[in-house]
Amino acid sequence: MATSLLPSGRPPWLPELTPMPGGCSLAILRVTAAIPVEAAEQLAVEERTVAAAIVETRRRAQFVGGRIALKAALRATGASPEALQEPILRGARGEPLLRDTFAGSIAHKGRFVAAVGGSRTNVAGLGIDLERVERITPAFAARVANDDERAEARRLRIPMEVGTTCLFATKEAVYKAVSGPPTLEFDAIRVCLTQSIARFTLDGASRTAQLDIRLSEEWLLVTARLLTA
């Protein structure tokens, strides 16, 4: 268990990179309300235009940080300088729009931004979610997880707040890993924490996502790697 998302004393806006299975890379950074010039200069013109139109300071910083983190993750997996100059804009669901050869996802919560990137040669899709572990009501737990998932969490002696947050973040990450229609509903995703996998059916085919779950004192970071069919 990590004690924090980032090493103590790491400067803001500087991504911390971690290699992931499947030739992917995870990048985490801390943002500040004021966006430094050197951070803004890393954006393409189109990205700066979108950022300038975001009124809320926190959301603007998260947008900028998300582009910096995802490009850092893609760079670590071997993306060319030319590819990294392309703008990463947002799709209809808020997902990062990337060239077809890339897979990637962005998550943000508070002052932290995380992104995972990789090549579609190795994965069919990537998703990531970042959540703070907070007090959970039984009603919310029942909406997020089915009976088998809650029973497994109890067998593993995972506190309800941690277990429910983990299941929510996992299903959110899997949802993000499935790009484009049809929309995948939470109750269609079956999570097995013991095996670190999630299963679901899409377009009549059974699919599997490999999970990477990282727990700090108050944060849960989940990455879903959608395996090729």
Predicted pLDDT at 7: 84
Residue 66 CB contacts under 8 Å (≥ 6 apart), including other chains:
88, 96, 106, 108, 113, 115
> DSSP string of 13-36?
T-PEEEEEGGGEEEEEEE--SS--
Domain residue spans of the chain: 16-123, 129-226
CB 26 within 8 A of CB 74: no
For the chain, the maximum distance between any two Cα atoms, rounded to a whole number of angstroms, is 51
- Residues (pLDDT < 70) of the chain are 1-3, 180-182, 229
Is 53 in a helix, a strand, or coil? helix
Q: What are the C-alpha distances in Å from 96 to residues 117, 145, 179?
A: 11, 27, 10
Predicted pLDDT at 181: 62
CB 116 within 8 A of CB 162: no
Which strand (E) or helix (H) includes residue 207? strand 205-215
Q: Which CATH architecture has domain 16-123?
A: Alpha-Beta Complex (3.90)
Can you state the angle between helices 45-53 and 57-76, rounded to 10 degrees? 150
CA gap 44, 63 in Å, rounded: 13
* Two tokens, residue 165: 């947050």
**What digits encode the pLDDT tens for the residues 156-175?**
999 989 999 999 999 999 99
**189 phi-psi bin (left φ>0, alpha ψ -120 to 50, beta other):** beta
**What digits encode the pLDDT tens for the residues 93-115?**
889 999 999 999 999 999 999 99
Which superfamily does 129-226 belong to? 4'-phosphopantetheinyl transferase domain (3.90.470.20)
CA gap 129, 105 in Å, rounded: 9
Q: What are the C-alpha distances in Å from 103 to residues 37, 46, 152, 203?
A: 28, 20, 31, 20
Domains 16-123 and 129-226 share a fold: yes
